Structure 1
């Protein structure tokens, strides 16, 4: 599984914690646009697909630290495992071993 954090355009934040199921984490740090590219990614091995993610982040524009927890729908893993094969255009190789990607997307809501 490959895990990453990202935000929407214009919502740069600094994550101080990205933790899964209270048991394992990935390196935190600057997050920025965009979810489609996901920025820096981390390969995760021998971990089950998480049921919960906790994120702590700093919003420098407000000088505040936030913390949030969210349940993760297990259907996402099932969907990723059933994605069809695809062809690498540059090498014409057919990729059949699809790696699930879990992108932790952050969005700043304007009130």
Structure 2
């Protein structure tokens, strides 16, 4: 009986340790597109629980595009994205899985950077979660210490997925 209780205790501890949420105090969420694209992004949904606004996105793959901020959220495990490519007249919906453990570990050791344009030294530890989309449906997710090309920028790919072409929703649902 004691052996069973001991094993049950170990299983509970392991299950609890694996399900710990990794909350983030502040996170910049950036939606970007392959340079030269003209996308109307309608939904960027994380873990079926919170979302980030986007709108019209036309550039800056891996860099700052449309940016919003969120506070006190768990680091996401997946992102769902829906966008309309105005150049090709295609509507795409897809999902990318995110390695939230690697992302969370990355932001624990964010380094400062220097803005190339202004020379300003930034030591604020604000992580940038970047969701990028390509015209072929590829979705990529990165975590970075800065939104764009700066001295000392760190960036790590933590997710990817593929979007599928879908039929456009009816006019009254857009």
Q: Is the 8 A contact 2:37 2:85 kept in 1?
A: no
- Which has the higher relative contact order, 1 or 2, with Cα contacts under 8 A spaced 6 or more apart? 1
Match of 2:95 among 63, 69, 92: 69
Q: Over the residues paired in the alignment, what is the CA RMSD in angstroms?
A: 2.1
Q: TM-score, normalised on structure 1?
A: 0.82
* In structure 2, C-alpha distance between the alignment counterparts of 1:101 and 1:3, rounded to whole Å: 6
Partner of 2:130: 103
* In structure 1, C-alpha distance between the alignment counterparts of 2:62 and 2:79, rounded to whole Å: 20
Number of matched residues?
107
Structure 1 residues 44-82: Cα deviation after superposition (integer angstroms, max 9, x where no partner): 001111101000111123323211011111212311321
Unaligned runs of 5+ in 1: none
| Residue 41 (structure 1) aligned with residue 70 (structure 2) | no
Partner of 1:14: 40
Partner of 1:24: 50
More helix by share: 2
CA 1:87 to 1:15, structure 2 compared with 1: closer, same or farther past 3 Å?
closer
Q: TM-score, normalised on structure 2?
A: 0.55
Q: SS of the counterpart of 1:61?
A: coil
Tell me whether 71-80 or 46-55 shows the greater mean CA deviation: 71-80
Q: Is the 8 A contact 1:80 1:101 kept in 2?
A: no
- Report the alpha carbon displacement of residue 8 of structure 1 after superposing the two structures with TM: 1.8
CA 1:83 to 1:66, structure 2 compared with 1: closer, same or farther past 3 Å?
same
Unaligned runs of 5+ in 2: 1-26, 138-174
Tell me whether 39-48 or 28-37 shows the greater mean CA deviation: 28-37
